[in-house]
């Protein structure tokens, strides 16, 4: 989906295999994580759930985490989608959405992940996901604001997430009701709507 211009252009599959239009999260801050059930980083599920709960206390309608299971790293997510859902619920009480299992690298990579990697390459410009539990932060404007490696613990992302939550959601421009005499002043308006990248 090379024509995609933002996070909201995608419709990945949810745990039931049904399309989830990401447009439903427009104006929210989203943390996207590729996950696995049999990885040394799997306990980060607990950290992610703790982070999710903590931020939802102060921003109940403005933040979401999306987990994308992937079996491309040493076969550490071998189970079915039902197995994965059950594992996350029973072992970590995960309450944020865990999506359908996908690939994140190679020709079979989910289009969302192709876009995420293009939008925010990793260290030294490398695009490929290196391991389970890499993290992408999507701002209110639908663009990637940060990318963190597996070693970064979820609680370290609290400040960047809060910083993005404190950004005002982009508002649609109001219809102009100015006269031609006001044109010079209204011509400056677009500059104030620029988003921080």
Kindly list the catalytic residues.
39
Say which residue the tokens 């925010």 belong to: 120
Residues 2 and 137 sit within 8 Å (Cβ to Cβ) = no
Extract the tokens encoding 100.
């359908």
CB-based contacts of 181-187 (< 8 A; 24+ apart in sequence):
none
The count of other CB atoms within 10 Å of the CB of residue 182 is: 11
CB-based contacts of 182-186 (< 8 A; 24+ apart in sequence):
none
- Cβ neighbours for 55, distance < 8 A, ≥ 6 positions apart: 63, 158, 161, 162, 165
Instruction: Measure the CA–CA gap between 87 and 89, rounded to whole angstroms.
Output: 6
Instruction: Measure the CA–CA gap between 31 and 138, rounded to whole angstroms.
Output: 6
């Amino acid at each position: 989906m090379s024509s995609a211009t933002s996070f909201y252009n995608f419709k990945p599959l949810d745990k039931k295999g049904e399309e989830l239009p990401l447009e439903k999260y427009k104006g929210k801050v989203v943390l996207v994580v590729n996950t696995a059930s049999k990885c040394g980083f799997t306990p980060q599920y607990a950290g992610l759930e703790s982070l999710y709960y903590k931020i939802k206390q102060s921003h109940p309608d403005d933040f979401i985490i999306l987990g994308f299971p992937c079996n491309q790293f040493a076969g550490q997510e071998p189970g079915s989608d039902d197995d994965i859902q059950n594992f996350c619920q029973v072992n970590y009480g995960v309450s944020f959405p865990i999506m359908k299992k996908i690939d994140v690298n190679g020709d079979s990579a989910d289009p969302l992940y192709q876009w995420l990697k293009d939008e925010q390459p990793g260290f030294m410009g490398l695009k490929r996901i290196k391991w389970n539990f890499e993290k992408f932060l999507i701002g209110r404007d639908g663009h990637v604001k940060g990318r963190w490696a597996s070693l970064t613990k979820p609680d370290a992302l609290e400040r960047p997430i809060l910083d993005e939550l404190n950004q005002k959601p982009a508002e649609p421009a109001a219809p102009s009701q100015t006269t031609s005499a006001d044109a010079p002043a209204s011509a400056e308006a677009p500059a104030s709507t620029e988003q921080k990248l």
